[in-house]
Amino acid sequence: ETGVTQTPRHLVMGMTNKKSLKCEQHLGHNAMYWYKQSAKKPLELMFVYNFKEQTENNSVPSRFSPECPNSSHLFLHLHTLQPEDSALYLCASSQEPDSREAFFGQGTRLTVV
Amino acid sequence: GEDVEQSLFLSVREGDSSVINCTYTDSSSTYLYWYKQEPGAGLQLLTYIFSNMDMKQDQRLTVLLNKKDKHLSLRIADTQTGDSAIYFCAEKKVRGRDDKIIFGKGTRLHILP
């Protein structure tokens, strides 16, 4: 257990569906992140939130919409996804954005059909 | 080329030492990391080294850093079946006021009986 919990662990959705991924951290951290892990590609940073404010958006398509209602919770809202969006989506948190260590959740395995 | 490069696969006999290598590109990187990802799990921070260090040892793990060649290695002594996982090398880049962690594609370590 890393203190970062992601739900659901697995998700299958159609291209016209709307779904949300949830991440919760119990570590009292101020920074939270979404990463995408595709097969045979490096881990890609998608979004960074610091004290609930989005500080980074790495040219992520608008069909991915993050939400950070408080420092402990982070959501990734999904709509009209493409099959190439199928991947493992990892949430992470750290004390501050420039902290030495980041703690990762177990990820949500997303399949778009 | 990629910011962080590592070979995709490594096979080692149980009881032998495993050496996973990584090269990075940014000489201003402050920290270099090794993460472990077991099947179905998120990334777990194994160890890290600050850029002004040459070596760090932690039980069975030894990290060597050659800053001149921008080369990082992870040596696992007495490799066990539980060490079977994907190992990610990562560097912390300094970009203006923001730090960013860049990951390699990961090396899958396979343990032979």
Provide, as residue numbers in chain A, all residues whose Cβ is less than 8 Å from the Cβ of B106. 43
Provide, as residue numbers in chain A, all residues whose Cβ is less than 8 Å from the Cβ of B2. 42
pLDDT digits (tens, 9 = 90+) for A43-94: 888 998 887 788 777 789 999 999 999 989 999 999 999 999 999 999 999 8
Q: Cα(A20)–Cα(A85) distance, rounded to whole angstroms?
A: 14
CB atoms closer than 10 angstroms to residue A59? 5
**The pLDDT of residue A50:** 83
Residues contacting B35, CB < 8 A, separation 6+ = A104, B43, B44, B45, B46, B87, B88, B90, B103
**The pLDDT of residue B96:** 57
Q: Which residues of chain B have pLDDT under 50?
A: none
Q: Which residue of chain B comes nearest to A9, CA vs CA?
A: B40
Question: Nearest CA of chain A to the CA of B44: how many Å?
Answer: 7
